[in-house]
Structure 1
Amino acid sequence: MRDATSSPEPAPLLAAVDAKAQVHLIVGSNPLAAARCAKVLQVGAKPVIIAPEDADLHFSLKEHIEQGSAQWVKRQFQDEDLTTLGREEVDHVVDAVFVTLSSQDPLSEHISKLCRRLRIPVNVADAPHLCSFTLLATHSDGPVHIGITTSGRGCKLASRLRREIASSLPANLGAAVDRLGSLRKQIWEEDQAATQDDSKFEVDDDDATGHSHKFNSLVTVEDSRTRRIRWLSQICEYWPLQKLVSVSEDDIKAILTAYSAEKQRDLPATVNEVATQRKGKIILAGSGPGHPDLLTRATYKAIKDADIILADKLVPAPVLELIPRRTEVHIARKFPGNADKAQEELMQMGLEALRAGKRVLRLKQGDPYLYGRGAEEYEFFRKEGFEPVVLPGMTSALSGPLFAGIPATHRGVSDQILICTGTGQKGVAPKPPSYRPNQTVVFLMVLHRLSSLIDSLVSPPNTKGPSRFRPWPATTPCAVIERASCPDQKIIRSTLEHICKAVEQEGSRPPGLLVVGATCEVLHKLEEQKWVVEEGYRELDDFQGVSDIPLATEQ
């Protein structure tokens, strides 16, 4: 847990440094010096080893020196080494220093002080207080590099965490990243040539930025040429990794081509033609708030039995990973401004599959009938002669607050709950509900327009004459809950006065919802903080997973 006013120990600045052609000084000749030398060579830098001529060199250091890939300065360290052994283009100042001597050796502290004075990055073995940087336990797969640090508390634990993370990643992830990166560059260049306007593109220059503020913003007519790049970005964000690494570049190109062009479908021409085909079956099912263990058994069985699954974009990867490999899967190409077209596309896919006699599962996040357009889809398929089976799902509107420790109702505080959408039809903002002190309000699909919603809640109505709308006090407790029930769940607890700034500073990632009302502080008091952030949710790990429960079969 962290808040805006407390002062926890600062986190280290993790960065990917381009070290090609740099000069890195290694003081020592022991096995750790050999490991540092190998690391320096791995990143394309030049190692310079400083050790007396009679030092006991590690055998791998000898090999590097004999091969000419490392330089050996055969003497004790001298202060001038820091400013004379480096590259000419930086006035011979070395780029980094690794001290592999004992942390108790007076020379270790001396070198550390010199480096800090000269602003040279320095790493001293087993002495975090003497280091200005540390090396991470890393896993590399092509362009993918994952680093773990325990801030000097335990390198063995960092290595284990790295192994755990690496083992959970699919094989050939690096090749998939290369493939998607190459395709993204191609699309970007094509769209740039078409628009001649760099400002229309969202360029991910920094891996740390997460979603830009435009990621889920409305798409205007002027932005239509950028839709392919946005869809590719959302493929990277929402598709399960196993599916990402299995698709080829041609597969992705075909998807994007189909997206930008209206697909001509050869539909059966007459009712009699449809009637002669094997009757398909359509199931509308809710996948719950996110964690796969919160699926109903009926939905889990539908996932296993379906011939084709049409899933919402925000159905989380752990749920999609339950889908058998043989099953055909399509992810909705939905984002604000494109929702209607994407909805029509999915329903047409479902209709084609039904007419071919297939068992179709329309998998939706949360519950199908709560802002899920489930009734619209039910009516569509019924008019086409297919009566859907509807399976309920646990809605995040009620379970999300629960996972955040917020009771939807509480005796003496709130005796009613109101569920609202933050996104109206055609992007028009819905009218805000009036303030009721005994009411808890949950807003779904609101993160992309949080600021305007909060303004509408706390501002008096901009109308002449009397109004029934009562503005909400700026001090009203509230919380933003993202990816409820998932391991990467995030909660930002604040008030209406500070929530927008909190989300702007802490970042956001859909799906998320906003809870407003006094129940937000029944179990969690803010005290004097402007906001508090809580990350992670692992409590469900202690329970048996849905995939481990045998399903009853027909005899």
Structure 2
Amino acid sequence: MKSKYPEVQGGGSLLLAWQVRNKHILVIGGGEVAAGRILNVLNADAKVTVICPSEGLNDEVAHRVSSSQITHIPRPFLPSDLNNDVDMVLCAVDDPIASTQVYKLCKEKRIPANIADVPPECDFYFGSVHRDGPLQIMISTNGNGPKLANIVRRQIAGGLPENIGDAVRKVGLLRRKLRKVAPEQGESPKRMGWMSKVCEQWSLEDLCEMKDEDMEALLGYYKPGTVPSLNQLRLGQEPGVFEFDGSFGWYIG
């Protein structure tokens, strides 16, 4: 008999949105790969220290040092560098032996580490990410094909509406306002259900067009659990009434 539950598909990674805001991330190396890693974690508001001789910094990393976006220690890595409250290590040096030593030291200290281009020595992988404001979409091949992940990411991004990032931002603002209207813990299922209705019934264009006054008016429909269209909201109509659509007919909103 076929199980009613999803089949387990082993061999994957647990994809998470890892919050590293104000965490101390140590980057070993200063080349092109390190530059990409640094940008990723700076975008997540982490505090970054780069350990690399000055002559090993590429132009991008050197710019981030000179503009005080990151801290730079101009010398090779030392094991004692892991004693300074490090929350994560990103190693991007072209030295397999040194990279393996870094990974082993991190394992001993239980510090999560990523060793560039060595999947077996990674506690986590960097995927190919599409970013549009608060929206982030990551494609991972579990270390099998980073270039292919980039191709898939571009194809997915090409099919997304141009305004989807703004729509996501507006939904987030509406959610925060709703929590102030109904802050009780017991309201959580109703809040989630009502927000789902808004996302399902409003188009992305409507969500982008929604203004602060529209949000305040929309929140007034939370208690009865109804969701009017944006046009009904601005006309002060109740959901389900007949509404003139500007043509030769009427429709039910």
TM-score, normalised on structure 2? 0.78
SS at match of 2:45: coil
Q: 1:268-306 CA deviation, whole Å, 9 max, x = no partner?
A: xxxxxxxxxxxxxxxxxxxxxxxxxxxxxxxxxxxxxxx
Q: Which amino acid aligns with 2:53?
A: P
Residue 46 of structure 1 corresponds to which residue in structure 2? 47
Task: Give the distance between the partners of 2:128 and 2:200, measured in 1 at CA.
Answer: 25
- For 1:187, the equivalent position in structure 2 comes to 178
Structure 1 gaps of 5+ residues are 84-91, 203-225, 262-327, 331-343, 363-555
Residue equivalent to 1:245? 208
State the alpha-carbon separation in 1 of the partners of residues 9 and 251 from structure 2. 51
Residues in 2 aligned to 1:165 and 1:59: alpha-carbon distance in whole angstroms: 31
Relative distance call for 1:9 and 1:357 in structure 2 (3 A) is closer
Q: In structure 2, what is the Cα distance between the partners aligned to 1:238 and 1:44? A: 34
The equivalent of 1:236 in structure 2 is 199
SS of residue matched to 2:107: helix
Percent of residue pairs identical: 31
- Counting only pairs closer than 5 Å after superposition, residues 369-518 of structure 1 correspond to structure 2 as none
Q: 1:135 aligns with which of 120, 126, 134?
A: 126
Higher helix share: 2
Contact 2:178 2:219 (8 Å CA) reproduced: no
Q: Which string of whole-angstrom CA distances, capped at 9 and with x for unpartnered residues, describes residues 434-479 of structure 1?
A: xxxxxxxxxxxxxxxxxxxxxxxxxxxxxxxxxxxxxxxxxxxxxx
- Paired amino acid for 1:82: L
Deviation of the 1:329 alpha carbon? 8.4
Where in structure 2 are the equivalents of 1:293-442 lying within 5 Å?
346=240, 348-349=241-242, 353=244, 358-360=249-251
Superimposed CA distance per residue, residues 49-102 of structure 1 (whole angstroms, 9 cap, x where no aligned partner)? 22235x33211222222223222223222211111xxxxxxxx23111111123
**Deviation by residue 1:483-530 (Cα, 9 ceiling, x = unmatched):** xxxxxxxxxxxxxxxxxxxxxxxxxxxxxxxxxxxxxxxxxxxxxxxx
- SS of the equivalent of 1:200 reads helix
Equivalent pair of 1:24/1:48 in contact (CA under 8 Å): yes
Correspondence 1:200 to 2:187: yes
Task: Give the drift of 1:133.
Answer: 0.9
- Structure 1 or 2, whichever has the larger Rg, is 1
Separation in 1 of the partners of 2:200 and 2:6?
32
Note the 1:150-169 alignment, pairs <5 A.
150-169=141-160
Separation in 2, partners of 1:109, 1:201: 47
Alpha-carbon separation, structure 2, partners of 1:66 and 1:260:
54
Amino acid at match of 2:135: V
Taking the aligned partners of 1:259 and 1:66, their CA distance within structure 2 comes to 51
Distance 2:172 2:53 in 1: 47
Cα distance in 2 between the residues matched to 1:79 and 1:238:
56
Task: Give the deviation of 1:123 after TM superposition.
Answer: 0.9
Matched, 1:100 2:87: no
Q: Is the 8 A contact 1:50 1:74 kept in 2?
A: yes
For the Cα contact (< 8 Å) 2:103–2:113, is it kept in 1? Answer: yes
Deviation at 1:258?
A: 6.0
Q: Measured at CA, do residues 67 and 254 of structure 1 come closer, stay the same or move farther in structure 2, by a change above 3 Å?
A: closer
CA distance in 1, matches of 2:205, 2:159: 11
Report the counterpart of residue 60 of structure 1 in structure 2: 60
What secondary structure, in the 3-state scheme, does the structure 2 residue paired with 1:72 have?
Answer: strand
SS at match of 1:75: coil
Contact in 2 for aligned 1:30/1:100 (Cα 8 Å): yes
Q: 1:121, 1:132 within 8 Å by CA — same for their partners in 2?
A: yes
Q: Look up the equivalent residue of 1:179 and give its one-letter code.
A: K
Secondary structure (helix, strand or coil) at the match of 1:61 reads: helix
Distance 1:121 1:136 in 2: 16
**Matched residues, number:** 240
SS of 2:125 mapped into structure 1:
coil
Measured in 2, the distance between the counterparts of 1:177 and 1:41 equals 22
Structure-1 separation of matches of 2:100 and 2:218: 58
SS at match of 1:80: helix
Report the alpha carbon displacement of residue 252 of structure 1 after superposing the two structures with TM: 4.8
- 1:34 is displaced (CA, Å) by 2.0
The secondary structure found in structure 1 opposite 2:197 is: helix
Q: Which residue of 1 aligns with 2:227?
A: none
* 1:31 to partner: Cα distance: 1.4
Instruction: Provide the aligned C-alpha RMSD in A.
Output: 3.4
Instruction: Tell me if 1:19 matches 2:20.
Output: yes
Aligned to 1:176: 167
**What code does the residue aligned with 1:13 have?**
L
- Preserved CA contact (<8 Å) 1:187 1:229: no
Q: Is the 8 A contact 1:52 1:76 kept in 2?
A: yes
1:34 equivalenced with 2:21 (yes/no): no
Q: In structure 1, the residue corresponding to 2:100 is in which secondary structure?
A: helix
Please, which of 95, 112, 115 is the counterpart of residue 121 of structure 1? 112
1:157 Cα shift?
1.8
Aligned partners of 1:172, 1:126: CA distance in 2, in Å?
A: 35
Structure 1 residues 198, 37: closer, same or farther in 2, change over 3 A?
A: closer
* Rounded Cα–Cα distance in structure 2 between residues aligned with 1:154 and 1:180: 34
Counterpart Cα distance in 2 of 1:61 and 1:259: 49
What SS does the corresponding residue of 2:66 show, helix, strand or coil? helix
Native 8 Å contact 1:170 1:245 kept in 2: no
Q: What code does the residue aligned with 1:80 have?
A: S
Distance in 2 (CA, whole Å) between partners of 1:189 and 1:136 is: 36
Q: CA deviation at 1:253?
A: 4.4
What letter corresponds to residue 200 of structure 1 in structure 2? E
CA distance in 2, matches of 1:229, 1:128: 38
SS of structure 1 residue aligned to 2:72: strand
